[in-house]
Amino acid sequence: MTEKTLHIVGGGMAGSEAAWQAANMGIKVVLHEMRPETGTFAHQTGNFGEMVCSNSFRSDDSEQNAVGLLHWEMRAANGLIMQTADQHRLPAGGALAVDREPFAEAVTAALKSHPNISTDYGEIAELPSEGMWIFATGPLTSPALGEAIAKETGTDRLAFFDAIAPIVYAESIDMDVAWLQSRYDKGETEEEQKAYLNCPMTKDQYEAFIDALLAADKTEFHEGETAGYFDGCLPIEVMAERGRETLRHGPMKPIGLTNAHRPEEKAYAVVQLRRDNKLGTLYNIVGFQTKMKYGAQAEVFKMIPGLENASFARLGGIHRNTFLNSPTLLDDQMRLKSRPNIRFAGQVTGVEGYVESAAMGLLAGRLAAAELSGRDMGPPPGSTAMGALIHHITGGAEAKTFQPMNVNFGLFPPLDGIRGGRKGRKERYKGYTDRAKEDFSQWLEGQS
């Protein structure tokens, strides 16, 4: 092993992009991949960059959509996943959909023919103490490696399932209905006493809500996905199936709360939302992890008083998903604080989605290559899509309730002088994306 070799484990979205970026910066890369010898329940081939489910990289609109902006930044940084997607694009309206097999074959061919990249097939089941490594082993990290990671981080800091409650943009919540209060006004400071946002329900509203939950379309678990799932993350619709009153005695209990707008009225049930980021732009609905289909979720959750016009930064879900508590474990270079020779990248760092995973691979590859070359490189500023994501996972997110995150404008620092609310949305998003493009270009220039 030479000093300048970078080892990357996992040839998925993140590992493939990391290898490409580091190799293009003149670093020798060994890409380790366990497939096809050892498979996962979702992958079908031995190719790098395999899309395990949908064939879409979502919106390609870089002016009005945060994922589209991430595409733009990855193209600007000569990203392999984006340039290969562009070559194998299928008609899909404003979305970037691809012909998945030729796409993965082309990613594989590009990596295998790169003079700085060699491949090594086989499972890596330990965290090495020497050399520089990036682990990009994804949501389906092999069980043996998962154990080794948990041994290093502590079992409470590595999750094997996500239990994602929907996340709402704060600005879309009707504060004439909702109010801020922690149960029993608990907390030392005023901020703590007002840490939750509460949405009250009458008996009729509660009954209608339970009916809608029970009737909603649900998604099924994949075969082999469910082992170990039922520990403390029951979907709300499963709780509702256990009894119509279960939720009213669980996450929707009304006790210890007084409606600030109508103190004389006792709510029959209360839905609570908790701040999800330091900026205070996002709130998650407490205890509302769900397997309802996305369309059904939007309909059902808008029945909650105060959320009638809610915009969702992400909808809920429960999946097999190995991910780190990155806000406590990783530094802003994506290095494991306890073992700085190891970086993590991709979905295992607590981002969610092909594009976000590839973007975190792009950053990890560049940051590792810079470190191996003895150059200082920081992550892009938080005003860019990549920067907003890395800042969120390595610090901005609430560590205690950390769950995987999609890129969205709620992660961006607010812009001065631009209208809030729905009416100003188009102008605001354009403001975010213009600022991001300028700042990202400057960050890239600083590296050349």
Residue 262 has a CB neighbour count (10 Å cut-off) of 12
Task: State which of positions 190-229 bind ligand FAD (CB under 6 A).
Answer: 222
- In the complex, least distance from residue 136 CB atom to ligand FAD, rounded to whole angstroms: 5
Q: Shortest distance, CB of residue 147 to ligand FAD, whole angstroms? A: 10
Count the residues of the shown chain that bind ligand FAD, applying the rule CB under 6 A. Answer: 36
**Binding-site sequence positions:** 10-15
Q: Answer whether 73's CB lies under 8 Å from 386's CB.
A: yes
Sorted by sequence, the CB contacts under 8 Å of residue 190 that are 6+ apart come out as none
CB of 145 to ligand FAD, least distance (A): 4
86 versus 225: smaller Cβ distance to ligand FAD: 225
- Choosing from 124, 216, 315, 377, the residue that interacts with ligand FAD (CB under 6 A) is 124
State which residue, 31 or 307, has the beta carbon closest to ligand FAD: 31
Q: How far is CA 180 from the centre of its chain?
A: 27
Question: 237: which residues sit within 8 A by CB, 6+ positions away?
Answer: 213, 214, 216, 218, 290, 291, 292
Of 305-344, binders to ligand FAD (CB under 6 A) are 320
Binds ligand FAD (CB under 6 A): choice among 86, 101, 123, 207: 123
Can you tell me which of 7, 35, 71, 343 binds ligand FAD, judged by CB under 6 A?
35
Shortest Å, Cβ 297 to ligand FAD = 16
Report, in Å, the least distance between residue 124 CB and ligand FAD: 4
Contact (Cβ atoms closer than 8 angstroms) between residue 287 and residue 270: no
Q: Could you tell me the smallest distance in angstroms from the CB atom of residue 119 to ligand FAD?
A: 11
Question: For ligand FAD, which is the closer residue by CB, 50 or 371?
Answer: 50
Q: Please select the residue that binds ligand FAD; options are 33, 60, 237, 371, rule is CB under 6 A.
A: 33
- If the CB atoms of residues 96 and 436 are measured against ligand FAD, the closer one turns out to be 96
Q: Which amino acid is at 117?
A: I
- Contact letters for ligand FAD, residues 345-374 (x by CB under 6 A): -xxx----xx--x-----------------
* Dihedral (CA of 412, 438, 365, 4) sign: negative
Shorter beta-carbon distance to ligand FAD: residue 350 or 380? 350
We find the least distance from the C-beta atom of residue 240 to ligand FAD, in angstroms, to be 25
The residue from 12, 254, 287, 410 that contacts ligand FAD (CB under 6 A) is 12
- Residue 380 near ligand FAD by CB under 6 A: no
> Residues forming the annotated binding site for FAD?
10-15
Closest approach, Cβ 347 to ligand FAD, in A, equals 4
Which of these segments, 26-34, 76-84, 96-104, 329-337, binds ligand FAD (CB under 6 A)?
26-34
Instruction: Note the residues at the interface with ligand FAD (CB under 6 A).
Output: 9-15, 32-35, 40, 42-43, 52-54, 123-125, 136-142, 145, 222, 320, 346-348, 353-354, 357
